[in-house]
Structure 1
Amino acid sequence: MRPIELSERLGRWSSGRGPLYVLLAARMRRLIDDGDLPPGALLPPDRALAAALAVGRTTVVAAYELLRSEGRIVRRRGSGTRVAGISSSGAVEDAPVDPIFLDSLESRDDDVLLAICAAPGDPPPQVAEAYARILPLLGEISGDIGYYPYGHPALREAIATRYAGQGVPTTPDQILVTNGGQQALSLLAHALLSPGDQVLVEAPTYPGALEAFREEAAVLRGLPVGLDGFEAAVRERRPGLAYVIPTYQNPTGSVLPALVRERLARAAAAAGVPLIEDEVPADLGFPGTTRPVPMATFGDAVISLGSLSKSVWGGLRIGWIRSPAPLTNRLARIRAVHDLGGNVPAQLAAAHLIAELDDLDLPTELKSRHDHLQAQLAEHLPSWHVPTVQGGQTLWVRLPEGDGNSFAQTAMRHGIAVLPGSGLDVTGSSESYVRLHFRARPDELTEAVDRLTAAWQAYHPPTDRVPPRPAIAI
């Protein structure tokens, strides 16, 4: 592509706040994600694009490097810079990971097992029972247009009560109900970030959070799981936000000790850095485990995010944010621009489910399926490194050779979709990992391992792969 052609497609890319390279990367990211820059498209050299845009070469180099670290472009000596997806020879290569799994979720190919989207495939009977209980309430509604930008009062009350029962005094005016946890993340990113703001994230972490932050043109800085080194990073980077999954972390399944939670919360408060505590997996502990104390116990710098998508069923689309009332008000105003409120029947049903969440037989089922997948992997793929976990829904698997991206392509050809580790780690340190989930039925997990085994036997690690440079790691 000629530099002048790309500059025309970019349009008014520099209108906004933040460093020029971040704004340029954000605009190119949008063109790539929207398909305006298709897979395999050859991008202009650094100097040529810089001249066409009338900026310094370092601006283009930094923008390209940011996009390369996200997996959206590929830079190879001798073949130039291309949008990821198709190599110069026409062969399929690493494509940008879609953390929302839109292609896989939409296609619903019955011949492909989805080991990428960790979520319950069967709503528990309590969902139907909750809907049956609210039918009389729906029949009695009168004079209510059904718009609740903050969420239905009954559900806000139920969520606040649950927090209070966990030792976190909460009032309904601190709760904003959202259409799932992903919308909650997007609202928080939009409210708290400006282009160029730095965000401290765990490496690896939930990829949907990374995309929500990138959508606001934030610069992601990776720390070890648990945000180890948080205090020093805050002093050096002055981040606009930090994000952590303290309980059954996605993807590693780790759990932060109470003392570490308190230290992080107090350090964030002292530095004035909003700290998002993603509690979506927190209710997924195995039998005999105790639900850890929420980080919000230790201060108002912590913004809690929750959802029923993993503990009950994703089809409910029920999530929430717990934050100080002024921030809740601001988030509701932002949400109302796009969405005047969620589904009222679903919220009324969720109010019942929240109150009975601890009575679900979820822990026993999760433990059984975890153990089944572990046993299958140990028998058929003994060379893989598969740590056990005490809760959650995913296994963080290290391959003995090769890399997750190229193996995922081989696995797809054998009828199973797995998530490569590179899309979950902004430091580039998880290339040898894949994420698997154990939410499927035992027979499906057995079939998944059979296909993984066939894929591994057919897999040939690339010999010319250039290790990624952790350009935005700290």
Structure 2
Amino acid sequence: MGRWSSGRGPLYVLLAGRLRRLIDDGELPPGVLLPPDRALAGALAVGRTTVVAAYELLRSEGRITRRQGSGTRVAGAPSASGVEDAPVDPIFLDSLEARDDDVLLAICAAPGDPPPQVAEAYARIVPELAQISGDIGYYPYGHLVLRQAIAARYVDRGVPTSPDQILVTNGGQQALSLLAHALLSPGDQVLVEAPTYPGALEALREEAAVLRGLPVGLEGFEAAVRERRPALAYVIPTHHNPTGAVLPSLARQRLARLAAATDVPLVEDEVPADLGFPGSPRPRPLAACSDAVISIGSLSKSVWGGLRIGWIRAAAPLITRLARVRAVHDLGGNVPAQLAAAHLVANLDALDLATELKARHDHLRALLAEHLPTWEVPTIRGGQCLWVRLPHGDGNSFAQTALRHGLAILPGSGLDVTGSSDAYVRLHFRARPEQLTEAVTRLTTAWHAYHPPANRVTPRPAIAI
């Protein structure tokens, strides 16, 4: 192999990025033994410290394990100690596709039943489709009708917005990926909450960013900016995923203004913002406080994931830049879906999500209190999941036990770049009541059979949405 060129970013970040892609693409499958530090350094004609730093970055992400006597291996295979690591599946296909076995999937927090308004919206657009003429249907920015509907919703919430400030995407995940690709270079530092939405962590890591965790709400933002000089910050201020926290009004204003003053692009994830319980006040978006805020939204959690409609709200020049990036990979989204989504966005508040969400939340919380009373289950005002602290053990090893009892859950370590959430698991309440009841039955059986390992391992688990 030839001598490496530094290109963009520190050399160790580029090396980690190359190895990360090989692991994620399956070219380096679980269990493969990687070259020793000195051997790889010699093959690449780089210093040993570069290889060590790259390996440590991948180890912190859970993609590899490094143990004295057994070398450096891709995570996911039985180790020398006999403890089995959790499988690495960054694309989270297993948690999105239906399974043939009897395993209940409690990982993907999205509504499983599209509301009747989805079918009604599609029925309404049939005459519109019949009248289309002379239109090739490519809209890299998104269909104007939907962009107008999204802009109008921001205006109604106190955020002056024009359609040229909106880019329609194929879901919120594509919105995150586009922003990460456009705004980050390898080695750039990004401030994220710890814990946070794991799909965002994957999108940022895909660009070889270095992630720095702060408490929920990005507490300590100002000091971190001075110390780290980040290229980007990411926050979920309303019904935070996974804790359900809501950032207070004054804290919102201060965070938005600090981002503007320090010239740090602040990405506000508003995907869970429509998931408040009855009577819960809905705070104004961070974008109402500063033009420096970039907002992303989606219908995946409020309507149905299969609709694949998301968006970015930002300054018009950035929207133009993002549309150019998007057009390289995707000339535009599904036009019928966008026309139907325009009707749904305009009537989103009439869907009455709050009552059903609260009922399912209360059902799950009551079952946990009855059957697993030693678990710490917080009180929340909205959202889609519970951030549960286990009384002993760790989320990774318990998730393996739960899987053996027919339930797939999300361990907390995969949501926290600081490594401080090993004792947590995330449980969502978007399933039907009978499914939640069965899930708690399996959780209880698994908990009674659970024995924490003597030698804990904390690989990065499969991510979920």
Normalising by structure 2, we get a TM-score of: 0.96
Contact 2:411-2:426 within 8 A present in 1 as well: yes
Deviations 1:201-260 (A, max 9, x none): 000000110010111111001101110100000011000000000000000100000111
Equivalence for 2:463: none
Match of 1:255 in 2: 246
| CA drift at 1:16 | 2.9
| Match of residue 385 from structure 2 | 394
**One-letter amino acid matched to 1:357:** L
Task: Report the secondary structure of 1:276's partner residue.
Answer: strand
Task: Quote the offset at 1:41 in angstroms.
Answer: 1.1
Instruction: For 1:444 and 1:467, locate their aligned partners in 2 and report how far apart those are by CA, in whole Å.
Output: 29
In the TM superposition, what are the counterparts of 1:395-414 in structure 2 within 5 Å?
A: 395-414=386-405
Q: 1:101 aligns with which of 88, 92, 101?
A: 92
Q: What secondary structure is seen at the aligned counterpart in 2 of 1:225?
A: coil
**Matched residue, 2:24:** 33
Alpha-carbon distance in 1 for matches of 2:81, 2:287? 51
* 2:261 maps to 1:275: no
Is 1:47 the counterpart of 2:33? The answer is no
Q: Deviations over 1:103-161 (max 9, x none)?
A: 23235235111110000000000000001111111111111111110000000000000
Q: What one-letter code is carried by the residue in structure 2 that aligns with 1:111?
A: D
DSSP-derived class of the 1:281 partner: helix
Aligned length: 459
Aligned to 1:60: 51
Report the Cα offset of residue 77 of structure 1: 2.0
Contact map agreement 1:188 1:331 (CA 8 A) in 2:
yes
- Could you tell me how far apart the structure 2 residues matched to 1:100 and 1:165 are? 36
Q: 2:3 & 2:388 partners in 1: Cα distance?
A: 43
Correspondence for 1:5: none
- Matched-pair contact (CA < 8 Å) for 1:418–1:434: yes
Distance in 2 separating the partners of 1:17 and 1:261: 34
AA aligned to 1:319 is G
Alignment of 1:75-224 (within 5 A): 75-89=66-80, 91=82, 93-95=84-86, 97-98=88-89, 100-106=91-97, 108-224=99-215
- Indicate the residue corresponding to 1:321 in structure 2: 312
1:429 maps to which of 405, 416, 420: 420
How far apart are the structure 2 equivalents of 1:387 and 1:108?
31
C-alpha distance in 2, partners of 1:359/1:317? 20
The Cα shift of 1:14 comes to 4.5
How many angstroms does 1:460 deviate by? Answer: 1.1
Contact 2:4 2:45 in 1 (8 A): no
Residues 399 and 411 of structure 2 are in contact (CA less than 8 Å); yes or no, is this contact kept in structure 1? yes
Q: Which amino acid aligns with 2:45?
A: A
Structure 2: 5+ residue runs without aligned partners?
Answer: 460-465
Query: What is the letter of the counterpart of residue 378 of structure 2?
Result: P
CA-to-partner distance for each residue in 1:316-352, whole Å, 9 max, x for gaps?
A: 0000000000000000000001111100010000000
Matched, 1:266 2:260: no
Which amino acid is 2:294 matched to?
Answer: I
Percent identity, aligned pairs only? 83
**Match of 2:370?**
379
CA distance in 1, matches of 2:211, 2:230: 9
SS, match of residue 282 in structure 1: helix
Equivalent of 2:336 in 338, 341, 345: 345
Contact 2:106 / 2:408 at 8 angstroms: preserved in 1?
yes
Offset, 1:383: 1.1
RMSD of aligned C-alpha atoms? 1.5
Task: Spell out structure 1 runs of 4+ moving beyond 6 A.
Answer: none
SS for the counterpart of 2:274 is coil
Structure 2 equivalent of residue 461 of structure 1: 452
| 1:153-204 alpha-carbon deviations (Å, 9 max, x no partner) | 0000000000000000000000000000000000000000011100000000
Q: Distance in 1 between matches of 2:387 and 2:406?
A: 20
What is the rounded CA distance, in whole Å, between the counterparts of 1:100 and 1:394 in structure 2? Answer: 21
Deviation at 1:52, TM superposition (A): 2.2
Counterpart residue type for residue 342 of structure 2: A
Aligned residue for 2:219, secondary structure, equals coil
Mapped pair 1:242 → 2:233: yes
C-alpha deviation, 1:48, in angstroms: 2.4
**2:341 maps to 1:362:** no
Q: What is the distance in 2 between the residues matched to 1:205 and 1:18?
A: 25
Matched, 1:298 2:299: no
Q: Which runs of 5+ in 1 are unaligned?
A: 1-7, 469-474
Greater RCO, 1 or 2 (C-alpha within 8 Å, sep 6+)? 2
SS at match of 1:445: helix
What's the offset of the Cα at 1:44?
A: 2.0
CA distance in structure 1 between the partners assigned to 2:381 and 2:88 by the alignment:
28
Query: In 2, Cα distance between the equivalents of 1:157 and 1:325?
Result: 14
Cα 1:191–1:444 shift into 2, 3 Å? same
Decide whether the 8 Å contact of 2:413 with 2:424 is kept in 1. yes
